[in-house]
Amino acid sequence: MSPDSGREFRRYHLLGIEELEAAEIMTILDTAASMAEISQREIKKVPTLRGKTVVNLFFEPSTRTRSSFELAAKRLSADIVNFSLPTSSVVKGESLKDTVRNLEAMATDALVVRHSSSGAPHYIASFCRSHVINAGDGTHEHPTQALLDAYTIRQVKKRFKGLRVVIVGDILHSRVARSNLHLLRKLGAEVILTGPPALVPREFELLGAKIEHSLEKALVGADVVMMLRIQKERQKANYFPSIREYRQLYCLTAERLKLAKKDAIIMHPGPINRGVEIESDLADSIQSVILQQVENGIAVRMAVLYLLLGGKEREAAD
208: which DSSP letter? T
User: DSSP secondary structure string, 229-269?
Assistant: ---GGG-SS-SSS-HHHHHHHH-B-HHHHTTS-TT-EEE--
Q: Which is nearer to other proteins, 31 or 134 (CB)?
A: 31
Q: Which stretch, 91-99, 135-143, 178-186, 306-314, contacts other proteins (CB under 8 A)?
A: 306-314
Q: Which stretch, 6-14, 83-91, 210-218, 274-282, contacts other proteins (CB under 8 A)?
A: 6-14
Taken in order 3, 13, 298, 300, is the CA torsion positive or negative? negative
Q: Which is nearer to other proteins, 260 or 307 (CB)?
A: 307
Does 274 help bind other proteins (rule: CB under 8 A)? no
Q: How far apart are CA 260 and CA 296, in angstroms?
A: 24
The nearest distance, CB 24 to other proteins, in angstroms, is: 13
According to CB under 8 A, which one of 22, 33, 249, 259 is a site residue for other proteins?
Answer: 33
Does 28 help bind other proteins (rule: CB under 8 A)? no
According to CB under 8 A, which one of 11, 18, 22, 46 is a site residue for other proteins?
Answer: 46
CA distances from 307 to 58, 76, 225, 250, 272 (A): 22, 12, 30, 39, 31
The dihedrals phi and psi of 272, each to the nearest 5 degrees, come to -90, 140
Q: Which is nearer to other proteins, 11 or 261 (CB)?
A: 11
Does 74 help bind other proteins (rule: CB under 8 A)? no
Does 259 help bind other proteins (rule: CB under 8 A)? no
Single-letter amino acid code for the residue at 119: G
Does 41 help bind other proteins (rule: CB under 8 A)? yes
Q: How far apart are CA 149 and CA 160, in angstroms?
A: 12
Q: How far apart are CA 225 and CA 247, in angstroms?
A: 16
Q: Which is nearer to other proteins, 24 or 141 (CB)?
A: 24
For the stretch 88-94, contacts whose Cβ atoms lie closer than 8 Å and that sit 24 or more positions apart, written own/partner, are: 90/59
The nearest distance, CB 3 to other proteins, in angstroms, is: 5
93: which DSSP letter? T
Q: Which stretch, 17-25, 38-46, 166-174, 271-279, contacts other proteins (CB under 8 A)?
A: 38-46
Under a CB-based contact definition with an 8 Å cutoff, are residues 25 and 16 in contact? no
The dihedrals phi and psi of 121, each to the nearest 5 degrees, come to -65, -35
According to CB under 8 A, which one of 34, 89, 102, 285 is a site residue for other proteins?
Answer: 34
Does 310 help bind other proteins (rule: CB under 8 A)? yes
Q: Which is nearer to other proteins, 215 or 305 (CB)?
A: 305
The nearest distance, CB 217 to other proteins, in angstroms, is: 41
Does 37 help bind other proteins (rule: CB under 8 A)? yes
| Binding-site string for other proteins from residue 76 to residue 95, where x marks contact by CB under 8 A and - marks none | x-------------------
The nearest distance, CB 241 to other proteins, in angstroms, is: 50
The dihedrals phi and psi of 252, each to the nearest 5 degrees, come to -80, 115
Q: How far apart are CA 95 and CA 117, in angstroms?
A: 14
User: Hey, which residues does 160 pair with through a beta bridge?
Assistant: none
Q: Which is nearer to other proteins, 47 or 162 (CB)?
A: 47
In the complex, which residues of this chain contact other proteins (CB under 8 A)?
3-7, 10, 27, 30-31, 33-35, 37-38, 41-43, 45-48, 76, 303, 306-307, 310-313
